[in-house]
Amino acid sequence: MINKQLIIKTEQTEWDFGNEILYKMCQQNFEHKRIDIIVGKVILIGRAYAAAIERRKNKTEENNNFYIDKVAPMIKNSKLDVFIGELKLETEVNEKNIADILKLHLYLTELIKEITEQNKRSFCSKYLHFHLPNLFFIYDTRAVKGIRLLKTKLPRKHKTELGANGIDKEYATFFYKCYEQKKLLEKEYSGMLSIRHFDNILMKVVEFRAEKSTRKYKYKT
């Protein structure tokens, strides 16, 4: 399913320009001290990636007020900057920092859940990815389908770690599979892959499977 040609083909995509804007926005405004910056980052990342947190239970106010009066103050007064600051100098995912990465994801997920009453693990993975692009795999239905199609097996140690407290098991399972699959591809093709490049590969795997299913259906009919 994956070959050298696909690896090369997915190095760049038509989404790179838009993604680069979001990366620069978070790099240049890394902290969460100003309401307007927090509102901007949350809205732009959430809506660009179909994960807007305005979609919530018990909606009682307009979306603009929700972001300004609830989301931004909550994030500003949280410990998010402390936790992302501790990981800011990490350049790659490794066995030593995985626990802290997963704890940060859970922290933001639980924070957002307080005001949305929903589990926003997809938004949280994407929001954290743009702040720490070398550490957070992007979680959504397509990425989950892609890693599932690759049938990645988890080492026993990771299966054991999934029983630990302080993690979102669903995201952690996905994360470990991505981590192991990324290492396999890097070893097989003798080159490092960024997390963004790996996400591009997952999207292409899903696209290929959809095209294959369509061709099979047409043949049968």
Task: Express as a percent the part of the chain with pLDDT over 70.
Answer: 92
Place of tokens 């979102």: 168
Between 21-25, 28-32, 210-214, the lowest mean confidence (pLDDT) is in 210-214
Whether the pLDDT of residue 218 is over 60: the answer is no
Whether the pLDDT of residue 60 is over 80: the answer is no
Task: Express as a percent the part of the chain with pLDDT over 90.
Answer: 75
Please count the structural domains in the chain: 1
Question: Strands (DSSP E) along the chain, which ranges?
Answer: none
Query: What's residue 23's pLDDT?
Result: 98
Do 128 and 105 form a contact (C-beta atoms < 8 A)?
A: yes
Query: What's residue 158's pLDDT?
Result: 86
Whether the pLDDT of residue 213 is over 80: the answer is no
Query: What's residue 38's pLDDT?
Result: 98
Average pLDDT over residues 189-212: 90
Report d(CA 169, CA 116) in Å as an integer: 20
- Contacts by residues 176-180 (CB-CB < 8 Å, ≥ 24 positions apart): 176/98, 177/147, 177/152, 178/137, 178/143, 178/147, 178/152, 178/202, 179/93, 179/98, 179/137, 180/152, 180/153, 180/154, 180/155
Of 218 and 177, the structure prediction assigns the larger pLDDT to 177
Whether the pLDDT of residue 56 is over 70: the answer is no
Query: What's residue 161's pLDDT?
Result: 85
Q: Which domain does 43 fall in, by range?
A: 4-220
Whether the pLDDT of residue 147 is over 80: the answer is yes
Q: Report the candidate in 88, 90, 107 with the shortest Cα–Cα distance to residue 27.
A: 88
Of 165 and 108, the structure prediction assigns the larger pLDDT to 108
Query: What's residue 217's pLDDT?
Result: 46
Query: What's residue 194's pLDDT?
Result: 97
